[in-house]
Structure 1
Amino acid sequence: MTEITALKRGLDILDMFSAEQRVVGISEIATRLAIHKSSASRLAATLASSGYLVAASAGNYALGPRLAALGSLAAARQDLTAVVTPFLKDLVEVTGETGHLAVLDGTIAKTVQVVDGWHTVRMHSWVGKLSPAHCSSMGKALLAGLSDAELDELYPDEALPVRTDHTITTREQLRHELTKLRRTGSCLDYEELEVGLRCVAAPVFSPDGTVDASISISGPAQRLTRDRMQFLARLVRWHAWRASLARGVLAVPPGWPAPLAEEPPAPDWAVRSEARHS
């Protein structure tokens, strides 16, 4: 039996389980896969040794805890997008800028949701986009949830890759930026990732108090002036906190600023015309 064949048969065994059939026996596995009972027994034992099955009784198996753990991971990611997206849409609606939801994957900020802005001139993005975390606002918002030791593990070298003349170039500069971020609750990107592109981000907290996601808005530097970005930072913080509350967060984790007491006003320069809105 080749490794690919064994893998396929192992997956076929898992597919035999359903809400109506919680336990599957060796004899049934052998019959449905058209293999000898000894082969079926070895396949089931291998799955059990890895936690995908557990012995229910002699010759019978039920689904194991490893599958439950993987299912929880998949559900958590799905729930993250489902819960946060409405608040990201609200943020985009009030600002007109393109919105992102991102998670951290090593030193990369991975976009898992995009809501297009409604300005005629706007950033165009896509789900699955990968950005270096140290030079993107959404990435730095994610990195701010790490300890110093975790940050050093991700960035063992002092020098950091450079994307533009505005990119943070050292780990010490990054550490300083993350300290500031934890003090203010938001992060600004002044063309660090791409010339002409500016972004504002804030962390989204999980119920266990960690930062496992961030939301951001991005737009052209001509429109997102420094004063406007400071204004928008409060709006991004507000919507990120609303998303955190919707995920079951009860209080801001230690080391982060208290949430804003009330919703900030909408920017007076982001007004959607009737023609554009229709």
Structure 2
Amino acid sequence: MRYFVAVAEELHFGRAATRLHMSQPPLSRAIKQLEADVGALLFARSPAGVALTPVGTVLLDEARALLDHADRVRERVSAAAGVTTITVGILGDGTDPGVTRLAAAYRRRHPGIEIRIRDTDLTDPTCGLRAGLVDIALTRAPFDETALTVRALRTDPVGVVLRTDDPLARHHRLRLADLSQRRWFRFPQGTDPLWQSYWNGGRPREGPVVRAVQECLQAVLWNGTVGLAPLGHDLPTELAVVPLIDMAPSRVVAVWNEADTNPLIRSFVEIATAAYRH
């Protein structure tokens, strides 16, 4: 039913497969099997795309109701088992529109669940997950994924943050090589090496040590330091961000311990995947 609803909402098998984090052939087979079970076509297929048949339209309403009921059952079982709280770690910037949509959607789906938020700095990209401080983290990759499950939610292009009076700020785009002689902000010793290497553009750097987003911005304002940041975030008027054309995009991810059996995590990840897709 979840497969059917995804195709019905996307009206495109490829997009639905991406949404479900699976390849298209098994999705197509599952829908054909469902049509065989129902005894009628659910989708009208044509070179122009996919459309719901009248039978598919009826089933969509019923399928949504069934899935909503399944979620309520899961929530009641979780409550009976004493699982009524989930702790979410958020890295750096909780103003991301994806977080806002996720919060609203999760409240609608699970009104009886208490959400605890742990806002974390940039020195721990897993937001306290390994220490057991959170159940799931909304963060950015890359980092050591040993014993963790990671679900990609979105990718953001990356740029370099500069003061607006910096000569490089006049460029429309830059390369990492253009920044080779500059001082960068960097993270404390002991920070995850993969995380540190990514935000340092793949090589060791010299410059002030920072732990939080505001410290990064202040390092640029006060010292003329440069550093990387995802595009699309609001910055003080004294700062500019110039896209980097040779920097891999930053991946926004949900991550949790692979051995965690908390039933609320699965629902959280499903809702997060939809919230970040818009």
Give the structure-2-normalised TM-score: 0.25
Largest Rg, 1 or 2: 1
Give the structure-1-normalised TM-score: 0.25
Highest RCO, 1 vs 2 (Cα 8 Å, sep ≥ 6): 2
